[in-house]
Structures are given as C-alpha cells and as structure tokens.
Amino acid sequence: MSLHSLQNEIFPLVAPSELEVGVRIAFSLILGACVGLERQWRAGLAGLRTNALVSVGAALFVVMGAYGFSPDGSADPTRVAAQVVSGIGFLGAGVMIREGLNIRGLNTAATLWCSAAIGCLAGTGMYLIAITGTAVIVLANIFLRPLGRVVNRRSGRHIAGPATQADPSDFAFEVMTNDKAEPRVRALLLQTLSRPEYHLKSVTTSHTKKGDVALLAELQAAQLDPAPLERAVSRLTLDPKVTSARWWLDESDKGDDEDEF
C-alpha cells in the first residue's frame, strides 16, 4: 500500500459541494487580485488581472486534480500542485526582460509564483493560510522596497563614482513615436542613453489616447549635468519617426530598481 493510499484511509478527503467549490474559486480571485493590486499600483509587468487569473487557474487545477476524476477525493492533488509550480515558471520567464546588464521583472515573476501558491491554498480550502500568505506577500512587496534601496546605497551598488561626487540624481527621459516604429526607436533610445555618465535603470512603454507610443527611460547620474541629455534630445529628434523627446529631473523617487537584478 502506498503512502498516499494509507493517508487517504486515515484522513479521507470529502468532496466539497458545488457551493464550496465556488467559494474557493471566488476566494482565490479576491486574494490574487489583492496581490495584483500592489503590482498594478507599482506599474509592474504583471498587474491585477494577471495575478488574479494565475491564482484562479491554480485553484481550478487543484480542485480538478483532487475531485475531478475521483468523487471521494482519493486522487493526489499534490501532483497537480507540483505541476502548477512548474508551469508558472514559463509565465514568469515571459515577464523578465533583459535591458543591458539589468534583468527587469524578477520581482514580478516571483510575485506571480506566490499568487499561484495562494490559488493552490484557496483551492484546497485553506482559507486562513491563504489570507496570511496574501498579507505577507503584499507587505513584503511594499516594505522591503525601501530596505533594498538602503542596502544598495550603503553597499555602494547604487551608483559607482568618485567619493567626492554629490548624491545621485534621477532623471526621466521620454520619447514619443508611433506603434510601427516603436522597436527601432526603442533601440535608438537605448543606444543614445548608453553612456558612462548615466545608469539606465529601466525603459517602459505606454500608449497615449491619441494612439502614440511613449517610451519612458529612467536614468541615474552621479551629478546634475543636463548637457549630455540635451545632446541626446537633439540626436533623437533628428529621426523622422520620433515625434518629440524631452527629459526632466525626477524627484518623485518612483524609479527604484524593484524589478532589476
């Protein structure tokens, strides 16, 4: 007799009612949305809908594995949960982007992995553990960010430079183009901003109401020197596919390396 069969004889799984299954699915949706809400607020690569769907999908797979093929619940849901963990790796790999020496999306991928775990817990009816896990994930994403910045700053990893330099300055650089030219303009932007004076932290893409594409680059410099940025604006605006280009000093402390490695 296998260990799983012995476990089913001692602790048999009772198949839940359809109402109970619906409650579990709704629970996974709500908790996944709570995790995704923080990602959406932080403009992560996978936001509210993605995390909610990952959580619901994990719950559905667990319910199916436990009760879908065996009404008495004698199936082994742990095998399905293991496959959920493996499958979510492909989705996590899709949100990781390599930009120069940086890899963005690691934190978002880890959050998706955690959302799948929350869905598995909700699918098995472990509501209290699922709620606790959701709270821990959200609090970790919120409160460990400042701690990470402090560690980077203290270790000297934030930006390399002589000891006589002033505090680093954050800049935002925006380029407007159209949908078709976005890949070429993005490559041109990365080439133009790849300078030793700056540390390119991230490049994000968004669409305006007019149908244009906005490329927003976040930079960090050891000192406030606008001359290289002005030259970058002049170079980019020479391209016929670039509608406009501008830069400004970012004082919002928005651009931390939450998704960089």
pLDDT, tens only, 214-229: 999 888 877 667 788 8
Q: Do residues 138 and 177 both lie within one domain?
A: no
- Has residue 255 been placed in a domain? no
pLDDT digits 0-9 by tens, 176-196: 999 888 889 988 988 888 877
Q: Do residues 191 and 101 both lie within one domain?
A: no
Of 213, 261, 256, 207, the closest CA to residue 42 belongs to 256
Q: Could you tell me the pLDDT band of residue 76, with boundaries at 50, 70 and 90? A: low
Kindly give, in sequence order, each residue whose CB lies less than 8 Å from that of residue 14, ignoring residues fewer than 6 positions away. 73
- Has residue 187 been placed in a domain? yes
Q: Do residues 150 and 227 both lie within one domain?
A: no
- Has residue 162 been placed in a domain? no
Beta bridge partners of 202: 218
The CATH number assigned to the domain holding 182 equals 3.30.70.260
Q: Give kind and range of the element (H or E) at residue 259.
A: none
Rounded to an integer, the average pLDDT of 16-33 is 89
Residue 77 has pLDDT above 80, yes or no: no
- Ranking 73-82, 211-220, 224-233 by mean pLDDT, the lowest is 73-82
Q: Do residues 135 and 19 both lie within one domain?
A: yes
- Has residue 206 been placed in a domain? yes
Euclidean distance between CA atoms 129 and 121, whole angstroms: 7
- Has residue 85 been placed in a domain? yes
Give the pLDDT score at 124: 86
Q: Do residues 103 and 199 both lie within one domain?
A: no
Q: Do residues 91 and 193 both lie within one domain?
A: no
Q: Do residues 147 and 201 both lie within one domain?
A: no
Q: Could you tell me the pLDDT band of residue 34, with boundaries at 50, 70 and 90? A: very high
Residue 132 has pLDDT above 90, yes or no: yes
Residue 48 has pLDDT above 90, yes or no: no
Which of residues 154, 179, 207 is at a domain's end? 154
Rounded to an integer, the average pLDDT of 249-258 is 51
**Crossing angle for the helix pair 18-41 and 48-63, to the nearest 10 degrees:** 150
Give the pLDDT score at 141: 87
First to last CA, the chain: 47
Residue 1 has pLDDT above 50, yes or no: no
Give the pLDDT score at 13: 54
Q: Do residues 86 and 48 both lie within one domain?
A: yes
- Has residue 221 been placed in a domain? yes
Q: Do residues 205 and 90 both lie within one domain?
A: no
Q: Could you tell me the pLDDT band of residue 28, with boundaries at 50, 70 and 90? A: very high
Residue 236 has pLDDT above 50, yes or no: yes
Q: Do residues 131 and 177 both lie within one domain?
A: no
Kindly give, in sequence order, each residue whose CB lies less than 8 Å from that of residue 42, ignoring residues fewer than 6 positions away. 141, 258
Provide the domain count of the chain: 2
Give the pLDDT score at 230: 86
Q: Do residues 41 and 12 both lie within one domain?
A: yes
| Host domain of residue 204 | 169-249
- Has residue 164 been placed in a domain? no
- Has residue 159 been placed in a domain? no
Q: Do residues 177 and 241 both lie within one domain?
A: yes
